[in-house]
Structure 1
Amino acid sequence: MNAQDVINFLQDNPSFFEDNPDVLTQITVPHHTGGQAISLTERQVSTLREKLAQVQGKLSELVGFGEENDSISAKVHHLTLSLLIAESFESVSQSLYTHLTEGFAVPHVQLRIWNSILKRPLPEFVEVSEELLFFAADLQRPLCGPVQQAEVQAWFGESAEQLRSWALIPLRRDAQVFGMLALGSEDAQRFFPEMGTLYVERIGDLVSAAVLRHIG
């Protein structure tokens, strides 16, 4: 008789241990962490405890993700309301900076607008290079992680040298990119290439709509 014969027998006779309850206490197996042998029943209990601990860990992780998503959704909601009631471009930009730096705890935020019908004598409307225009036009989604874009880095002045991660969000009028929202952080893991960008993209859509409402 080999191991498979034993397995086949137990599968064909599911009531075996019910009919022979003492067998479970008589069989001993090595403890999975080493040491003295334990009964089969004790081994089953130990295995079930381990599986329970794994399930509880996964559940805690899922609850944590859910709470984090709820928190981000609430912040996006507050930003949306603020942009909706903004009565000028200046109000839009001020609301944006306030909510991103205080609500989302993004330490460095810069906004640039180009190809606008109506311009303002503000830093947000400073001319950008043709190279940056092409760079932004090629972005299909927000670019997160380290950035090798000297012109964008220069927007942050002296702080640029301390920044380790970035999120560059193209602003669109239909398919045309007309600006960029740039977020920077000293934390190298704040924005990284593999991160999900759903909320970042939504913020980009909100800012695009709010800006276009005031500058055309």
Structure 2
Amino acid sequence: MNAQDVLNFLQDNPDFFAEHPDLLAELNVPHDTGAAISLTERQIATLREKNSQLQAKLSELVGFGEENDAISTKVHRLTLSLLRSESFESSSQSLYTHLLEDFAVPHVQLRIWNSILKRPLPEFVEVSEALRFEAADLQHPRCGPATAGEILEWFGEDADKLRSWALIPLRRDAQVFGMLALGSEDPQRFFAEMGTLYVERIGDLVSAAVLRYVG
């Protein structure tokens, strides 16, 4: 009989130790300390280790849940604020205020094109055709290092400070009519592998809010 035979026997006879309880006290197995302990003690130690691992995992999941709840609450407040806005100017101001104060995003730029509404505001400054095509190709927000180019220039004097950003296309059905750019000095604030669910939802909210005015 080899080790596999013993393993197979115990798996096929799960009540073996229940029928021979004295054997548990007689069996000794090596411990991490080098001392021999009974099989029962080893089982208890193993269960404690597994319990500790499960507790750590549970704490991690609770932390994720609390973080998601906090973000969801912030998105809700932004939604209510945009719904109460009665003009493009008040909508954009609400957006900037909530992103800065609630979401702690230090740099925000909004650009609109193909708009019926015209205003002498930074949001309506003309963008290049190349950028419009680039934005149209975005199926989801793009997060990652802030790179040189036309979008970086939107941030003016703050452009040199940016290390990461999230570029969020604004859509009218399937057509992209603008972009929301969020910038940070922290290179890890927006990174390529991050989840973008809430970022996409903010993009949907902003799109719906400004479409009431830009046509």
Aligned partner of 1:126 in structure 2 is: 125
Determine the C-alpha separation between the residues in 2 that align with 1:92 and 1:181.
13
Pairing 1:1-216 to 2, within 5 Å after superposition: 1-31=1-31, 33-216=32-215
Determine the C-alpha separation between the residues in 2 that align with 1:202 and 1:57.
31
Deviates more, 1:3-12 or 1:55-64: 3-12
Structure 2 counterpart SS, 1:190: coil
The answer for unaligned runs of 5 or more in structure 2 is: none
Counterpart amino acid of 2:188? Q
Aligned residues: 215
Q: Return the TM-score normalized by structure 1.
A: 0.95
Determine the C-alpha separation between the residues in 2 that align with 1:15 and 1:126.
78
Determine the C-alpha separation between the residues in 1 that align with 2:82 and 2:24.
68
The CA deviation at 1:4 is: 2.1
The CA deviation at 1:35 is: 2.0
Structure 2 counterpart SS, 1:169: strand
Structure 2 counterpart SS, 1:5: helix
Counterpart amino acid of 1:200? V
Change (3 A) 1:131 1:25: same
Deviates more, 1:92-101 or 1:149-158: 149-158
Counterpart amino acid of 2:104? A
Determine the C-alpha separation between the residues in 1 that align with 2:171 and 2:108.
18
Structure 1 counterpart SS, 2:105: coil
Structure 2 counterpart SS, 1:188: coil
Deviates more, 1:147-156 or 1:47-56: 147-156
Determine the C-alpha separation between the residues in 1 that align with 2:125 and 2:14.
78
Counterpart amino acid of 1:16? F
Determine the C-alpha separation between the residues in 2 that align with 1:37 and 1:161.
63
The CA deviation at 1:149 is: 4.6
The CA deviation at 1:196 is: 1.1
The answer for unaligned runs of 5 or more in structure 1 is: none
Determine the C-alpha separation between the residues in 2 that align with 1:210 and 1:127.
21
Deviates more, 1:52-61 or 1:2-11: 2-11
Counterpart amino acid of 1:30? P
Q: Return the TM-score normalized by structure 2.
A: 0.95
Determine the C-alpha separation between the residues in 2 that align with 1:8 and 1:127.
74
Counterpart amino acid of 1:64? G
The CA deviation at 1:51 is: 0.7
RMSD (Å), alpha carbons:
1.3
Change (3 A) 1:186 1:26: same
Counterpart amino acid of 2:105? V
The 8 Å contact of residues 115 and 214 in structure 2, kept in 1 or not, is answered as: yes
The 8 Å contact of residues 74 and 102 in structure 2, kept in 1 or not, is answered as: yes
